Structure 1
Amino acid sequence: MYAVAPPRRPLPTRARTALLVLLTALVSGMFAAPALAAGGDVTWTVRTAANDYGDDRSSFSYGVNPGGEAEDAMVVANHGKEPLRLAVYAADGYTTDKGGLDLLTQDKKSRSIGSWVHTPRTSVEIAPGKSAEIPFTVTVPRDATPGDYVGGILTSLKQSDDAEGIAVDRRLGIRIKLRVSGALRPALAVEDVRVGYDGSANPFARGDATVTYTLHNTGNALLSGTQKVTLTGPFGALSTDAADVAAPPELLPGERWKVTVPVHDVTPAFRLTATATVTPLITDAAGSTTALDPVRATGHGWAVPWTALVILILVVAAAVAAFVLTRRRRARRAEREEERVREAVDQALRENAGHQA
C-alpha cells in the first residue's frame, strides 16, 4: 500500500533554470510551435517546484491511497517583455497515434486524474522577467479504482491570428503520474494477429510478409514491453524471425496500440503462421522495471508462390495432356488392330464358303 503523500512545506520562489517537460500547441487541430514572441523566443516555461518531493524533477509522480491527497506546485516563468496571462487547468492523458503522451484540451471533459487536480485559481498573470508558483492538490476519491493514472497540469495561451483567421491555443505543461494504492493487476493482451504476404515474379525467390496485431492493456497498470515476431511454414518448418521489432509506447490502462511488423526473406510456404510474443514491462514507484510473463498469440495467412504454382499447373496440365493423348493413340491402334482382325476373319470365312460351294 502507498502512504498518503507527505505534507507540503513552504516552497522557494527564487527563479531557476526552466525545465521543459511537455509541450503541445493546437492550431486548428494541427500541432505547431511553442509559444513564441515576435523575435522567435519562447515567452514562458514551466518546471516542478522544489519541495519534499525533490528539487529537480522531470515530472510529478505520486502514490496515494483512495480518499487521500497530494499537494505540490508548478512554477511558471515569463521570459518575455510583456505581461503574460495564462489559463491554468489539469487534464487526462492519452497515447497519441505516434506513441507520445498528450493531454486533453480544455474543452474536453476529464474523467479521472484531470478532474482530481485542483488549483486555487484558473489563470495567472506574470510580469515580464518574473515567475509565479501555482500550487495544486491531487484529491483521490474514496471509490477510486486502484492502479495507474496519467494526466498533467497545463498553462495555456489563446491568441487569435487575424492574418490567418484562426485561433491559436499554445499549451505548456507537466506530466502527472498517479498510482492509487490497492491490488495492482497488470495484464496485456495480444489480439487480432494477421499475416499478409507479398511475393515476387521469381518462382525461386523469397518475399516479404507483414504481421499486424493489437496490444491491449487490459489491466490497471501502465505497461510497456518488448516484442518478438516469428513466421513459420506448415508443421513449424521454415522459421523466420522479424528483425528489431520496436518496443511499443507505455500504454495506459484500457488503451490499445496497433503494431505492424515487416518480416523479410520469407519462404512462400503456402500457409504461414505468425507468433507474436510480448513481454510486458512494469515500472514500480521507485522507478525499477520488472518483466512479467510473456504473452503469445498466433495468426495465419496465405503465402502462395503464384509464379511457381502457375508453372506447376502448366507442367501438370502438360503431363495430363500427354497421358490422355498417349491413351487415345493406344486406343486407336487397338481399334485398328481389332478391325484388321475382323476383316481377316471375314475374308477367311468368305473364302472357306466359296470352296465348299
Structure 2
Amino acid sequence: MLEDPQMHAPAPRRKPTVAALVRIAVLALLAAFAVVGLGAGTALAEEGDVAWTVRTASNSYGADRSSFSYSVNPGGRVEDTMVVANRGTAPLNLAVYAADGFTTGTGQLDLITKDKKSIGIGVWVHANPGTIAIKPGESADVPFTVTVPDNATPGDYVGGIVTSLTQPNDAEGINVERRLGIRVKLRVSGEIKPNLAIEDLHVDYAGSLNPFAKGTATVTYTIHNTGNAILSAQQTVSVSGPFGWLRTEASGIAASPELLPGESWNVTATVHGVSPALRLAATATLTPRLTDASGSTTSRKQVQATTHSWALPWMLVLLVVVLIAVIVVTPVLVRRSRARRKLREDARVQEAVEQALRNKQETQPS
C-alpha cells in the first residue's frame, strides 16, 4: 500500500505572506514524514479528519496479496478489485485513478502526480467508479479493469491504483491532497530482453602528501536499464595498476534498486588503499537480477566496463626529481669549486713570483 507524499503539494489560492510560507513548509515536512511505503498500513488525515485503508480483494488471483501483479497478452484484459475501508468517524469521499510509477532518488517506487502524463499503467487501468463515498466504519469494493492495447510493447510496466482525498486548508489558503494506493505490476507477453548498461564510467585518484603512502580512487558511473524488464543489480568495483597488478576492490557497495525499463541510477564507489601505479584501470561489474511472475529471482550474464586514468605519485616524483637534480648538479658544483680554487692558487703563485722578481731587482747594485 502506497501513500504518496508528492500529492500533498500545495495549490495556492492567494498570495502567501512570509508567515504563511513558513507554515506551508512545516506542513510539507509533516506530510513527508507520513509516508507508509508499499506495504499495508493506514493513512490518517491531519487534525482528526478521516482515516482509510486500501487492500487487494480476495478472488481468483489470490488472497492477502500485497500488490496487484499480472501477465497479459497484447490486446488482453484483466478485471480485479481494490477494497477501501473508512476507519474514521466522518463520511469519506475519494477520487480513484491510476498513475505510472518511477524509481525515486532513494530507490523507492513512487507514482507520478495527477498533472503529469502517464503512458502505461496510468492509461491502461480504469477504476469504476472514479469516485467513491464511504460511511464511517464501512468499506467499499472498487472494481477496475486493465486493458492492454493490441500494439503494446512486450515487457514490464509498473504503476499504481490510487485513492485520493483533497481537502482545503483555509488557514493557509492551500489545497492538500492525500494519496493512498496499491502497486500494479504488469508484464506484457512477448520477448523479454533484460539488459543493463554501464555508462559514463570515470575514475579520479587522490594521493597523499606522504610519497610512500597509498591513495583513494573515486569511481562513478550510471546504471541504465536498456531492456524491457525490471532489473536490479549486484555491483563490484575494482581498481588496479598495469597488467592487473596491485588490484584493490571497493567495499560495501549496495545492490542497485529495481529499475524500470529506461530508468538510470547513478553510482559513486570509493576505493581506499590504491597504489599510485602511474596508470590505473577502474572496472565496474554488474550482475543483473531478474524477478519473474512467481517472485523467484535469477542472475543474468554479467555486464562489465573499464576505464583508465593517471595516478602519478607526485610527492615521490618530486622527491626523485630533487634527488636527480642533486646527483647531476653536485659534480658540476664540485668541478666549479675546484676550478675556482685552482685559479685562486695560480693567481697567488703568480703574484708571489712577480713579488720575488721585484725584490731581486731592488737589491741589485746600479
Query: Does TM, scored on the shorter chain, surpass 0.5?
Result: yes
CA offsets, 1:127-184, max 9 Å, x none?
1111111110000000000011111100111223333443322111011110000011
**Counterpart check, 1:77 vs 2:57:** no
Structure with the larger helix share = 2
State the match for 1:287 in structure 2: 295
The match for 2:103 is: 95
Shift, 1:98, TM fit: 0.9
Any residues of structure 2 matched to 1:200-349 within 5 Å, and which? 200-326=208-334, 328-329=336-337
Matches within 5 A, 1:78-227: 78-227=86-235
Asked whether 1:28 is paired with 2:9, we answer yes
Please, what TM-score do these two structures have when normalized by structure 2?
0.81
Q: Structure 1 residue 121: deviation in Å?
A: 2.0
Give the aligned partner of residue 52 of structure 2.
Answer: 44
Q: Distance in 1 between matches of 2:276 and 2:49?
A: 57
Q: Kindly provide the amino acid, as one letter, of the partner of residue 286 in structure 2.
A: V
Task: State the one-letter code of the partner of 2:135.
Answer: A
Q: Tell me how far apart the structure 2 counterparts of residues 44 and 277 of structure 1 sit (CA, whole Å).
A: 45
Cα offset, 1:201, TM superposition: 2.1
Question: What is the deviation of 1:39?
Answer: 5.9
Question: Over aligned residues, Cα RMSD in angstroms?
Answer: 2.4
SS in 2 for 1:224: strand
The AA in structure 2 aligned to 1:155 is T
Partners in 2 of 1:38 and 1:188 — Cα distance? 43
Provide the C-alpha distance between the structure 2 equivalents of 1:42 and 1:101, rounded to a whole number of angstroms. Answer: 25
Paired residues of 1:233 and 1:273 also in contact (CA < 8 A)? yes
Q: Is the 8 A contact 2:240 2:246 kept in 1?
A: yes
1:5-24 equivalence runs, <5 A: 21-24=1-4
Q: Distance in 1 between matches of 2:62 and 2:110?
A: 24
Q: Count matched residues.
A: 321
Three-state SS of the structure 1 residue aligned to 2:301 is coil
CA contact (8 A) 2:50 2:90 kept: no
Is the 8 Å Cα contact of residues 157 and 171 (structure 1) preserved in structure 2?
yes
CA–CA distance in structure 2, aligned partners of residues 263 and 230 of structure 1: 7
> What letter corresponds to residue 134 of structure 1 in structure 2?
V
TM-score, length basis structure 1: 0.83
Structure 1 residue runs without a partner (length 5+): 1-20, 344-357
2:68 counterpart residue number: 60
2-side partners of 1:233 and 1:323: how far apart? Answer: 37
SS across alignment from 1:281: strand
Give the Cα separation in 2 of the matches to 1:88 and 1:23. 13
Percent identity over the alignment is 62
